[in-house]
Amino acid sequence: MVALHWLEQLCEARARWEPAALTTAHESGVPTMAPGTAFGTDAETLHRARVALRRLRAVLREHESALDGAVDRHTQRALRALGQATNAVRDADVQRSWLDAEMEQLPTVARAEAIRLRAILDRQASRSSAAVTRAFEKHLDPIVDRLLARLSTYMLLHRVGIPTTPTPFARHLATRVERASARLRRDLERVTSADSREAMHQVRIRLKRQRAMLAPFAKSRPALGAWYELATRGQDLLGAVRDADLLAERALKAKLPALHLALGGIARAHYEAFTLDWCARIDGVMQSLDLAVLELQRDSAPVTDAGVPLEIERKYLLTRVPPVAAAVPPTLIEQGWLPGTALRERLRRSTNPDGTVVCWRNVKLGPAQARVEIDEITSRELFDAMWPLTAAARVRKQRHVVRDAAYAWEIDVFLDRDLVLAEVELSGLDDRPELPEWLVPYLERDVTGEPAYFNSVLARAERRHGSRR
């Protein structure tokens, strides 16, 4: 459905391109542009087409396994060729727009050179736009019907007598988003100067793919929306660096040295803004991504027949903290239970490595292997008002989260006793993840279902009322 949405957007923009771009034809048959159309309505149409094309390609690539071969290599190559063919017009459009908006801010000599460069871009407009029209005809038109047909139908294999357990799309999406996390951090750490163009390019591409995957869901999920907005800002800043660099190269080739120098300074300014917003606070950036993944994982959690969320997990007693887990900056978790017998509400305050604090209210009911779990984020004010009521039953621990394959292993180190537990949330009762190699040497036994290791049973009164470390 997501792929079909972006394909529809692409086809709509393609249909608008022809009447907006084509006016007359030379006797040779080469289309020409009406004055002023190349960078007006036509530019907006091309921008929409490129956004839809980029997101369609990202969806087809990132969800290839879920699409189960619906898109062949020929189709992927055609879409890639269409994207490449539109690059020149997009770059020229951005460069003209930039010159129109920023020309007055340039030094006098650079401003005069900017006027000359703009005239060069004007002369190239008709040829570039005609090339886009030919690209639509060559690469998109022949594959649209086939792609539409393949995305509109699918087959399911069902074995008689065996219940089906389809993977929730949210979990599939969480895996795809999470998989990019380590690569994104690695590329961010490689951005060390304004000359780190390859690293910045890789970061920009990864952010584009993240936004393409999450765009349909960003408005309905707060953590996804926060990560989407952050990724948008990062992509915009890196796009500004790239655009200034490309325009500087054009100025250099056109022998416009003052403009080349001015544009180089502007590119460096955008680079400095990106490093302050991203590289200098990389842990906060990655925390935002982790929260988006967590929200997707919560959306994909199993539910009862009535739609109530279930918590299905395995719990293990460890001899000590595995070094792999110890290397991960921990989150401080403070939990307290309000007085009750049949119903006990839990409060939780999580202090993340970057200092951000999130407060939760939570209720769990049922057996340990598969419990109904209802929780929600609450305000700091409400948490602080209710927290004193939990003084008789509290737990304080540090949690190290290690992501391994499709699972997040939570290693809890209790601060008021010699106890280390590992937990992993599952998608169903038949979900049996393999124990990671880094965890096995420190495993004592599986304690799932043993009441002695329930957090509510482990809770005790704090020695110092309301204390926090």
From first to last of its 469 residues, what are the pLDDT tens digits of the chain?
A: 889 999 999 999 999 886 655 443 333 343 333 333 333 457 788 889 999 999 999 999 888 888 888 888 899 999 999 999 888 788 888 888 888 888 888 899 999 999 999 888 887 766 677 888 899 999 999 999 999 999 998 887 777 876 555 667 887 888 888 888 888 999 999 999 999 999 999 999 999 989 988 988 888 888 899 999 999 999 999 999 999 999 999 899 999 999 999 999 999 999 999 999 999 999 889 989 988 888 887 777 666 655 566 667 889 999 999 999 999 999 999 999 999 877 889 999 999 988 889 999 988 776 655 566 777 889 999 999 999 999 999 999 999 999 876 678 999 999 989 999 999 988 666 667 789 999 999 999 999 889 899 988 999 987 654 444 3
What pLDDT is recorded for position 157? 76
Pick from 158, 164, 160, 159: which is nearest to 430 by CA? Answer: 164
What pLDDT is recorded for position 287? 87
Pick from 347, 451, 438: which is nearest to 389 by CA? Answer: 347
Give SS3 for 345. strand
In this structure, what token pair is assigned to residue 185?
A: 């951090």
- Left (φ > 0), alpha (ψ -120 to 50) or beta: where does 154 sit? beta
Strand 357-365 with 443-446, pairing: unpaired
What pLDDT is recorded for position 110? 92
Pick from 329, 324, 316: which is nearest to 433 by CA? Answer: 316
Would you list the DSSP string of 188-216? HHT--STT-HHHHHHHHHHHHHHHHHHGG
pTM exceeds 0.85 for this model: no
- Element (DSSP H or E) covering residue 131: helix 108-135
What pLDDT is recorded for position 41? 55
Dihedral angle at the C-alpha atoms of 83, 89, 92, 96, nearest 10 degrees? -120
- Element (DSSP H or E) covering residue 375: strand 371-378
Non-local CB neighbours of 118 within 8 Å, separated by 6+ positions: 96, 99, 100, 103
Cα(267)–Cα(182) distance, integer angstroms: 27
252 and 260 Cβ atoms separated by less than 8 Å = yes
Cα(24)–Cα(35) distance, integer angstroms: 12
What DSSP character marks residue 369?
T
Q: What are phi and psi of 178, to 5 degrees?
A: -65, -35
What pLDDT is recorded for position 31? 37
What pLDDT is recorded for position 309? 63
What pLDDT is recorded for position 25? 37
**Count of C-beta atoms within a 10 Å radius of residue 297:** 21
Distances from the Cα of 194 to the Cα of 191, 243, 258, angstroms:
8, 14, 20
Would you list the DSSP string of 221-268? -HHHHHHHHHHHHHHHHHHHHHHHHHHHHHHHHTT-HHHHHHHHHHHH
Non-local CB neighbours of 424 within 8 Å, separated by 6+ positions: 313, 314, 407, 408, 409, 410, 433
What DSSP character marks residue 440?
G
What pLDDT is recorded for position 42? 74
Give SS3 for 170. helix
What pLDDT is recorded for position 462? 77
Give SS3 for 97. helix
Pick from 345, 348, 369: which is nearest to 357 by CA? Answer: 348
Sequence letter at residue 336:
G
Cα(186)–Cα(118) distance, integer angstroms: 38
